[in-house]
Structure 1
Amino acid sequence: LAATVREDWRAEDTAVVVLRFESGLLGEALYCWATRTPDLGSVGSVYGTRGSLDIISAEAGLVLHRADLAGGQQVVIADDGYDHGYNVSIADFLRAVRGERPATISGEEGLRDLAVVEACYRSWRSGQVERVEAIAAGPAAGGPHFPTRGKPA
């Protein structure tokens, strides 16, 4: 499910994604760039049966919450600033381009990530469950041809 809420944006600014992983695990993500408010908390959270993780929270870069921890939480990774991950990714890409070493994330992995995004768009357009494997397998199996974005009128 996606929408454009802000009039000054030319693409979707809000999306809700529900994923079922091969293991049967159910995942959900809410993306919203439409809000005009200050940071209200963590960028992301992961919930499990024994605890949860806050990703880039007000307290740190990664915070583990579990009942058996002193104070109920533990800082796993200190906060290096929101842009730190971008800087590390760009530096890694530049080292690969200069031939100093292979990129940490391969082009194939990037294509698999795009297949997930394309499956989300296809599901939004069709209203049906879309299988990432079929898109990632190649054009003969329905992917990774990535048509223009957006829901048909």
Structure 2
Amino acid sequence: MTTQVDYDNVPVGTRLAAQEFQLLPVHEIMYCGASLDFVGVHWNPRVARSVGMDHIVAHGPLTEAKALRIVHEWTGDPGSVVSQHARFHKPVLIPDDGVGARYRIHGTVTEKLADRRVVVELTAVSPQEEELVTVRAVVQLA
């Protein structure tokens, strides 16, 4: 699959469509199984409380993957991300209240590189506008 976004038509400052995400405890538990990472803070509220968290904590790579999904939807090619680097600022806590964790992810093209690549900076923010995670992705365009 190749990207549907043409490098020549993407100026610095291009904004990717922001998306809202919701994580429920069941999503986190499924991710535990997929990643084979069953550390208690990710699925057991009692363990999370024992280390000072009010709720279970989302895996960092899960929130990073949600951010990269925006890039994949923008390019039309899940293989367009050449490299990425995430910085986790605050844990994503997932209450067991039927609503779970809600956050918004937005992205912007911040740089054009050689070889038809661009840098996209993505940020996940809480409903209170707290920065949760930032991801810097290098993306190959057509």
Task: Report the TM-score, using the length of structure 2 for normalisation.
Answer: 0.25
Task: Report the TM-score, using the length of structure 1 for normalisation.
Answer: 0.23
Structure ID, larger Rg = 1
The structure, 1 or 2, with the larger RCO (C-alpha pairs under 8 Å, 6+ apart) is 2
